[in-house]
Amino acid sequence: MSKFNKIAVIGKYPSFEEVGDFHAQLIQLIGHLSNKKNVELIIEEKTQKQINLVQFKSLPLTDIGPQVDVAIIVGGDGTMLGVARSLVDSQIPLIGVNRGRFGFLADLDINTMFSNIDMILDGDFIRDDRMLIDTRIIRSDKVIYESQSLNDVVIKSGLKLIELEVIIDDRFVHTQRSDGIIVSTPTGTTAYALSAGGPILHPNLDAISIVPISPHTLSNRPIAVSGNSEIVIKIIHMDEAYASIDGQIKFPLDLRDRIEIKKANQNISILHPNNYCYFEMLRNKLNWG
């Protein structure tokens, strides 16, 4: 008997049509598995339109959270990030099936996914709680934008260097001239922050990393601070710049802007098979010896 009564399947789109036949077969097999376990399967509305499996109930992504006990995401890490932000308020756990390139978050391999999903649905899993960060952009004392990130928020320049002031817990840290700055959760330290030279933080750490992007002064180095820290970034000089949320949402910035970042009250739970090992995953994805 399954630990979960209702499960949702959410696919990768808008490039979904490129792999639509594969996803249709995959979701049909998940449907057979759910029937065997007497579990109701719900398909996210856009996913169902792409694969045309009308025998299953569908719901828009915005309505799925309160209706199901767990969501299976078929795609890559980018799909996981977008779905995680959409479902964070419902607090349902996520299972990721990797159809992307890396699979740091969507870690189930398609060759073993059915046995692993079978195991997870029976309650034999590792629950992995991941921190999110809240970002608020304040202009002329008004909050003009706010969002949550599972990976990171990036303040990025356009064609020229940007000059930033960094304040942590009301203490001035430094000014820097650079291509930008990455404020990352432990989850996001294997994303853009890693390619910019930042440290890898284990997901269980209650910490936030701050990584400069190509700083003009080489002594500007990445740092990690307590997860309870409040980070403020002020723009001192820029020609053009934007804030990027998980690499998926871009918001144009202004010289008047103050960007406030802190740990969110909610977190995201990812379910792994009971043989999951974070270090083994890193070893495989990063080609360590």
Mean pLDDT of 250-273: 96
Residue 180 confidence (pLDDT)? 97
d(CA 283, CA 289): 7
The predicted pLDDT at position 144 comes to: 97
The predicted pLDDT at position 29 comes to 76
- Overall residue count recorded for the chain in this entry: 289
Q: List helix spans (H) across the chain.
A: 20-36, 45-51, 61-64, 77-87, 113-121, 192-195, 278-285
Boundaries of every domain in the chain: 6-123, 132-266
Mean pLDDT score of the chain, rounded to an integer? 91
210: which strand partners? 183, 223
Give percent of the chain with pLDDT exceeding 70. Answer: 95
Question: Active-site residues: which are they?
Answer: 77
Neighbours of 221 (CB within 10 A): 12
The pTM of this model reads 0.92
- Phi-psi region for residue 108, left (φ > 0), alpha (ψ -120 to 50) or beta? beta
Q: What is the pLDDT of residues 86-127, one digit of tens each?
A: 999 999 999 999 887 778 999 898 888 888 998 999 999 999
Instruction: Determine the CATH number of domain 132-266.
Output: 2.60.200.30
**What CATH superfamily is the domain 6-123?**
Probable inorganic polyphosphate/atp-NAD kinase; domain 1 (3.40.50.10330)
How would residue 159 be classed by pLDDT, with cut points 50, 70 and 90?
A: confident
Task: Tell me the pLDDT tens digit for each residue of 66-89.
Answer: 999 999 998 889 999 999 999 999
What single-letter DSSP state applies at residue 199? P
